[in-house]
């Protein structure tokens, strides 16, 4: 039997119940997750507003895993500092939202945090080629950013394969993450393509048995 490829998971709190966010976060932290995915939307870069750093900081006493912050905001340098906490491992900005990506990556690193870059579905994967030495995580969007619960775009797997092949070939150290529309039904093809970290919102918080859903999405414990 072929070996099952495994991946880490980062549940998106966008799909949690905001009225009992701490409780929901503590619950999934007890179910074998690796990171918490913090979706920050500004109503400019994407047509939706979610929450800011204050909400994330209020979760510091509930989480037992590090934050994986996804900033869907225009000109993110203005707000990066606000998202740095002892729990923050990655801060990810959008390629499309930065006027000087090299400077933004240096800014994130200067704060002692790992730097991620996300690309929207219509952005060509090659745009990141010149920055790969400075990138700790690549977040491939498999839906148009802005909303949870959308349908997975299968073309995103080619992008995952592109970054995965380049990583193998050149020895880069970035983590390959996917975000949008991933659940138990398609997690295997997503992992097979080379994804190392899977974001899942509705498939985790909406599951009847969250621990089982998490295990299935990761491909095992
Ligand atoms: C979309 C967000 C995603 C989203 C994932 O803009 O970046 O993280 O919440 O949600 P699901 O897993 O429900 O597609
Ligand atoms: Zn996200």
Half-sphere exposure of 83 (CA within 13 A, CB side): 31
| Catalytically annotated residue among 24, 39, 42, 68 | 39
pLDDT digits (tens, 9 = 90+) for 202-212: 999 999 999 99
Per the CB < 8 A criterion, the answer to whether 194 and 163 are in contact is: yes
Mean pLDDT of the chain: 98
Residues 6+ apart with CB under 8 A from 19: none
Whether 161 has a pLDDT exceeding 80, the answer reads yes
The residues lining ligand 1, judged by C-beta closer than 6 Å to any ligand atom, are 12, 14-15, 37, 39, 70, 143, 145-150, 179-182, 199-203
Mean pLDDT of all residues in 4-16 = 97
Nearest to 39 by CA among 54, 30, 23, 51: 51
Whether 70 has a pLDDT exceeding 90, the answer reads yes
Burial of 48 (0-12, 13-18, 19+ CB in 10 A): middle
pLDDT reported for residue 1: 64
pLDDT reported for residue 2: 72
CA of 141, closest atom in ligand 1: 7
């Amino acid at each position: 039997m072929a070996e099952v490829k495994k991946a880490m998971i980062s549940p998106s709190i966008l799909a949690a119940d905001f009225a009992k966010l701490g409780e929901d976060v503590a619950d999934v932290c007890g179910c074998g997750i690796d990171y918490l995915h913090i979706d920050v939307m500004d109503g400019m870069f994407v047509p939706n507003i979610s929450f800011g750093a204050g909400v994330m900081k209020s979760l510091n006493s509930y989480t037992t895993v590090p934050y994986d912050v996804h900033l869907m905001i225009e000109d993110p340098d203005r707000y990066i500092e606000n998202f740095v906490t002892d729990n923050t491992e990655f801060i990810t900005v959008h390629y499309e939202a930065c006027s000087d990506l090299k400077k933004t990556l240096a800014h994130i690193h200067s704060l002692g945090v790992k730097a991620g870059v996300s690309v929207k579905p219509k952005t060509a994967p090659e745009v990141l080629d010149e920055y790969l030495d400075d990138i700790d995580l690549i977040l491939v969007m498999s839906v148009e950013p802005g909303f949870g619960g959308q349908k997975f775009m299968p073309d995103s797997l080619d992008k995952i394969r592109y970054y995965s092949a380049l990583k193998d070939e050149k020895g880069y150290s970035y983590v390959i993450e996917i975000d949008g529309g991933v659940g138990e039904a398609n997690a295997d093809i997503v992992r097979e393509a080379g994804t190392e970290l899977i974001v899942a919102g509705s498939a985790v918080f909406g599951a009847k048995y969250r621990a089982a859903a998490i295990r299935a999405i990761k491909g095992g414990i």
